[in-house]
Chains A and B, each alone.
Chain A
Amino acid sequence: MSQVMIKELVPRRELVDPGHLACPGCGAPLAMRLVLKELGEKTIVVLPACCWSIIAGPYPQSSLHVPLYHTAFETAAAVASGIRAALDVRGDTDTTVMAWAGDGGTFDIGLQALSGAAERNEDFLYVCYDNEAYMNTGIQRSSATPWGAWTTTTPRSQPQGTKKKDILSIMAAHRIPYAATACVSYPADLLEKVRKAKSIRGTRFLHILSPCPPGWKFSDEQSIEMGRKAVQNRIFPLMEVEDGIRWRFTMETDGDRVEPYIKAQGRFRHLTDEDMVRIQDEVNARWEYLERMVASSP
């Protein structure tokens, strides 16, 4: 996409201030910045414990220009349900309520509340920015950590031994009106999805891959490149699911080799050639599964 087209696509308003507290090269503030550009001022953000609790800034400051409710780790979807109910009861149906949680707050400890809210089809947008570990507490594994990765609780001698949880399928199985993946490296695709999500009522779920230099062990300036490699090599396919049944890829990929992605990150440094084959097989299998879902969509 050319520079000019991006400029036209991206709304000018800035609802995230540059003085936020993320590490250099962090994907998370970029994700928030893009999402809020699209959602606009009439948005209330619910933020459970995660890196963003820090990024948002300490009392009495805030790096956001929208109301923000910090909440306990596992409660984003429940608090968002409460805020939505309150707004509705008082006749405000056009403010968007957005829950914004990490992978830990979504895949793990917050999954129960999220499932409950999705089953009730609560009218809010739930965004999970996924940096594939508990970064706030110092890079511990989560169920979003990929197989083979080092974290501080999966040492190189015994790295992550489980597969990344398929959160998109879990959310699609709730038959919510909209579930999608996105990546900060593809702002046009991301903005398009937020625009679409904003226009829909009911539970909308957006899973954003958010590279983390200190957690994944790569240098700051490579974040966008890391996201591109994940998307282009089918490790993190960009897609959307409507009503849990209509699956669609939103971006073509130009490669299918995991190696360039895996080799670029220190968290995978210890992996052997066999490990690489195993990851490749895994990625191929999931890609085929997604192709089948797309092919069988009405």
Chain B
Amino acid sequence: MKKVIVGNHAVSLGVKLARVEVVSAYPITPQTQVVEMLSEMCASGELAARFIKVESEHSAMAACCGASAAGTRTFTASSSQGLALMHEMLHWAGNGRHPVVMANINRAMGPGWNVWTDQNDSLSQRDTGWIQLYCETNQEVLDTTIQAFKLAEAVDLPVMVILDAFYLSHTSEPVEIPDQDLVDEFLPRREARLKLDTSDPRSFGSLVRPEDYMEMRWDQQQAMTTALRMYEEIDADWKILTGRRWGAIEPYRMDDAELVLVTSGTVTSTAREVIDQRREDGEMIGLLKVKMFRPFPSAAIRRALRGVDRVAVLDRNVSPGHSGIFAEEIRAALYDVPPDDRPWLHGYVLGLGGRDVTPATIEEIIERAWAVDTPPREDLWVGLKT
């Protein structure tokens, strides 16, 4: 069934189709519609879940950890300040190996107060042990939400599904809603490998001495590696059922490309338009969309970009004192490419705090990327007022 829905409702419908059992969340703009719709669904019985209306995001994630440790499928949603408040418990879910799924609506961090999109909130949580999946369209949001539970429970790692504030969260797009039967086949009820169980009493998270701690982190690291492969399998299964797949990365019109733009989130759609136009005009230009940020698909990115002349990474985020964060990661991934095949990497910081990224912004980046004839030393900020 096709419906025209906002991204936030795509999340809620995905959660419902996944038959989530415990929801615990706290409202924040621009995520509120997610929890409002889930509250309705829980109240009407449409979704047979317990919704814990906690007093903070910190408690939301704590409750999710508890519910997940007790063996249930668990969900929360947040954004920006709320996500930052969860930070300690994001580590708890990650290191505790709880397959919690969260939707994070990308919103800029304050001060100053800004409810519009950029990626600094989720990227600041890079090292908490969460899988991060960035979405471009509402269809992708819905599909990814369902896939996220499958992936999380397969590797016992939490997954963050990430969508841009307003450009997706509050924008209506046509979305194909899969049948419940189809989702049930894809995603059966969760059967936890280990859980809090009085017939098999175990301790979770006790004091760990140096002689054991590293092995636990190594197991987590291996689970991340498995998640890379596992996502492709899950995505392939999803394609069999729905005809759609998304990929950890998506190369777009990259045949013989000399310049490749690298994007994530909704900037990708804008870039597609510009690239389509320029390809028509015979320009050797392509696009690489990065959906999966953790685990980072370094090898796939290297394969995709090897031999390309110039790579322009578009970052709707910045690590103050360094560079755009995707640029930094991709630069590191490309270091393993032999120098003759290694592209020049140009980093562009843009669209912070919801500043519009228009086709003209992308055009400007492309012009600059073609014009530079030495490898750039630092990122360029695009669209700054002079």
Contacts and interface: CB of A to CB of B under 8 A. Distances in A.
Interface of A: 41-44, 46, 53-54, 56-62, 64-72, 74-75, 77-83, 85-90, 95, 112-113, 115-116, 119-120
Interface stretch (B52-60, B263-271, B328-336, B369-377): B52-60
B58 A82 contact: no
B55 A112 contact: yes
A69 to B, nearest CB: 5
A58 B198 contact: no
Nearest to B49: A89
**Among B21, B69, B206, B207, which residue has the most Cβ atoms of chain A within 10 A?**
B206
A56 B127 CA distance: 29
Contacts of B64: 82
A65 B52 CA distance: 29
Would you list the 3 A-B pairs with minimal beta carbon distance, nearest first?
A82-B66, A116-B55, A82-B63
A60 B203 CA distance: 8
A85 B71 CA distance: 11
Main secondary structure of the interface of A (DSSP, over half): mixed
B104 to A, nearest CB: 19
A86 B206 contact: no
Given A79-B66, A89-B48, 14 more contacts: A59-B203, A59-B209, A62-B206, A69-B196, A70-B206, A72-B88, A72-B92, A78-B58, A79-B63, A85-B52, A85-B67, A86-B67, A86-B72, A116-B55
B62 A75 contact: yes
Contacts of B6: none
Interface size class of B (residues with CB under 8 A): 35 or more
Contacts, number: 163
Given A42-B198, A44-B196, A86-B67, A116 B205 contact: no
Contacts of B49: 89
B212 A59 contact: yes
Which residue of A62, A78, A82, A113 has the most chain B CB atoms within 10 A of its CB atom?
Answer: A82
B322 interface: no
A88 B59 CA distance: 19
Contacts of B66: 46, 69, 71, 78-83, 86
A83 to B, nearest CB: 4
Nearest to B208: A59
Most buried by B among A59, A60, A112: A59
B55 A86 contact: no
A70 B62 contact: no
A58 B208 contact: yes
A223 B295 CA distance: 52
A43 B21 CA distance: 21
A82 B55 contact: no
B24 interface: yes
A6 B197 CA distance: 31
B67 A83 contact: yes
B22 interface: yes
